[in-house]
């Protein structure tokens, strides 16, 4: 029973939050006259001593005391004696653990925000440096149309920007204090829940005591935001793995973010990216696990909810690590401009530009222009050359209206410069988006 019941092996991570909540509760009890000022001062000093012991590693945790709450309270009694027994007046472990856990998750959301901001800034720096560097854009991992390096980096800025929005949104929604809900029905003591909420940085007390002690939406939202962000991190990691291969040579990672092989001396493996790609499994798993724990639980508190923390702790650790590692790689990587440019013109990447030119200049219906372009692509494939290498006579043999002006749109530089629609890949548009995000970050 002790082995299955105890949570101190992992919930000791919430020691600082537990002590902060207890200090706020004790101060409120004194302010409302529930306990004396002398007892409140003794509790305050005792809790600071306990926190110091935990911080310096001298605190002795006991599985017999089940959890961090009882471990702290027992040690507080050792230090200050009888006043320690008054600390728990007007509260329960149910609202206490909900408060501690919320405070811990809120801290992690703040850490995620900082990590995302740092990553976005690193991506902006890459985008600014390569705003006009051409590279291939892909669909189905096949060359589609030329884009710019800056445009590709800004795509991830948008992704991580949405993650940032989700983090901030989740933090705002969860910022209600459960403290004072007691076991499930509130308390008959004249407590001031607004006082403790304010002391702990909450916007307000939670409005329903049953919901306050049984709610774990904040943890589920944290894991949901982490999961979506992990998808973005994994997609970028996959591209870094591909781009750093000898076949692509789009980017180079230094030895700081690569490893060697135990047998092949030439190898330079993008292990950091591969590990980020794998972190998705752990974060998704945590999200699914907590969903299953909470599914079907009647109000208010059930011991099942003790299984809410390990998954969140593990997901948080891996999310923060993945964010930091990705920021490090983005700062570290060098885009190989020549390789990007060489690949940008491959695979008939300007075929769409040819079709668009026929629509715009010759007023040919797009479906007809698409057919003509396909015929010219097939001709170039047969001759093992690219579209700009076909002669004007070759092109006029397929459509008589084509003029030598067509060559003005077939180069990759011309192609990317022409994509001036809002959000397009033209360097001017890329720089506009960089400026927009720079202002967002300043705000």
> Which residue has tokens 């910022």?
175
The residue from 165, 254, 261, 408 that is catalytic is 261
* CA–CA gap between residue 425 and residue 145 (Å, rounded): 10
Show the tokens assigned to 388. Answer: 């700009």
Integer CA distances (angstroms), 1 to 4, 6, 63, 276, in order: 5, 8, 11, 38
Nearest C-alpha neighbor of 277 from the set 318, 334, 332? 318
Active-site residue, selected from the candidate residues 140, 188, 384, 391: 140
Q: Would residue 140 show up in a list of annotated catalytic residues for this protein?
A: yes
Residues 121, 132: Cα–Cα separation, whole Å? 19
Q: Which residues are catalytic?
A: 140, 261
């Amino acid at each position: 029973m002790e082995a299955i019941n105890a949570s101190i092996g992992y919930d000791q991570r919430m020691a600082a939050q537990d002590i902060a909540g207890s200090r706020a509760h004790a101060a409120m009890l004194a302010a409302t006259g529930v306990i004396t000022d002398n007892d409140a001062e003794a509790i305050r000093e005792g809790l600071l001593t306990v926190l110091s012991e935990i911080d310096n590693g001298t605190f002795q945790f006991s599985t017999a005391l089940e959890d961090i709450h009882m471990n702290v309270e027992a040690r507080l009694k050792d230090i200050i004696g009888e006043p320690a027994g008054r600390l728990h007046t007007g509260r329960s472990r149910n609202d206490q653990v909900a408060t501690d856990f919320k405070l811990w998750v809120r801290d992690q959301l703040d850490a995620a925000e900082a990590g995302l901001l740092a990553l976005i800034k690193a991506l902006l720096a890459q985008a600014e440096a390569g705003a006009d560097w051409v590279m291939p854009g892909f669909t189905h991992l096949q060359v589609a149309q030329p884009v710019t390096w800056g445009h590709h980096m800004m795509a991830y800025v948008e992704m991580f920007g949405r993650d940032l929005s989700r983090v901030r949104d989740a933090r705002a929604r969860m910022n209600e204090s459960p403290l004072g809900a007691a076991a499930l029905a509130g308390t008959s003591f004249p407590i001031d829940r607004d006082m403790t909420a304010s002391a702990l940085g909450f916007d307000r007390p939670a409005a329903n005591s049953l919901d306050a002690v049984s709610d774990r939406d904040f943890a589920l939202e944290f894991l949901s935001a982490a999961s979506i962000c992990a998808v973005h991190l994994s997609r970028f990691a996959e591209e870094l793995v591909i781009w750093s291969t000898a076949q692509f040579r789009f980017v180079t990672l230094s030895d700081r973010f690569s490893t060697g092989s135990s047998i092949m001396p030439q190898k330079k493996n993008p292990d950091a990216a591969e590990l980020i790609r794998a972190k998705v499994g752990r974060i998704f798993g945590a999200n699914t696990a907590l969903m299953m724990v909470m599914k079907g639980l009647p109000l208010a508190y059930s011991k099942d909810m003790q299984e809410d923390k390990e998954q969140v702790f593990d997901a948080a650790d891996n999310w923060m690590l993945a964010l930091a590692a990705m920021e490090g790689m983005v700062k570290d990587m060098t885009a190989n401009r020549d390789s990007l440019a060489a690949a940008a013109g491959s695979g008939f990447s300007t075929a769409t530009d040819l079709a668009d030119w026929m629509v715009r200049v010759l007023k040919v219906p797009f479906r007809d222009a698409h057919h003509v372009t396909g015929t010219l692509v097939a001709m170039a494939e047969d001759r093992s050359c690219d579209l700009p290498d076909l002669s004007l006579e070759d092109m006029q043999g397929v459509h008589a209206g084509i003029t030598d002006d067509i060559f003005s749109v077939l180069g990759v530089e011309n192609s990317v410069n022409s994509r001036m629609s809002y959000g397009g890949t033209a360097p001017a548009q890329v720089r506009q988006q960089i400026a927009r995000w720079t202002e967002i970050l300043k705000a």
